[in-house]
Amino acid sequence: MKTDYIEYQDGETTLEGYLAWDETSSEQRPVVIVAHDWSGRRELACDAAEKMVDLGYVGFALDLYGQGVFGKDGDTAGNSALMAPFADDRALLRRRIQVALDTVRELSPVDPSRVAAIGYCFGGMAVLELARSGADVEGVISIHGLLHQGDIANEKIVAKVLCLHGHDDPMGPPDKVLEFEGEMTAAKADWQVHVYGGAKHAFTNPQANDQGLGTVYNALANQRAQRAIADFLAELFA
CB atoms within 10 A of CB 228: 17
Helices 90-104 and 122-132, interaxial angle, to 10°? 80
CB 122 within 8 A of CB 144: no
Length in residues, the chain:
238
Which class for 135: exposed (0-12), middle (13-18), buried (19 or more C-beta within 10 A)? buried
The dihedral over CA atoms of 122, 128, 130, 133, expressed in degrees to the nearest 10, equals -130
Domain housing 36: 2-236
Residue type, 5: Y
Q: What is the pLDDT of residue 96?
A: 98
Total-model pTM: 0.97
Q: What is the pLDDT of residue 104?
A: 98
Q: How confident is the model at residue 70 (pLDDT cuts 50, 70, 90)?
A: very high
How many domains is the chain partitioned into structurally? 1
- d(Cα 142, Cα 121) in Å, to the nearest integer? 8
The enclosing domain of 157 has a CATH number of: 3.40.50.1820
- d(Cα 227, Cα 91) in Å, to the nearest integer? 32
The dihedral over CA atoms of 49, 93, 233, 32, expressed in degrees to the nearest 10, equals -30
pLDDT per position as a tens digit, 140-192: 999 999 999 999 999 999 999 999 999 999 999 999 999 999 999 999 999 99
Q: What is the pLDDT of residue 108?
A: 96
What string of H, E and C letters represents the secondary structure of 138-187? CEEEEECCCCCCCCCCCCCCCCEEEEEEECCCCCCCHHHHHHHHHHHHHC
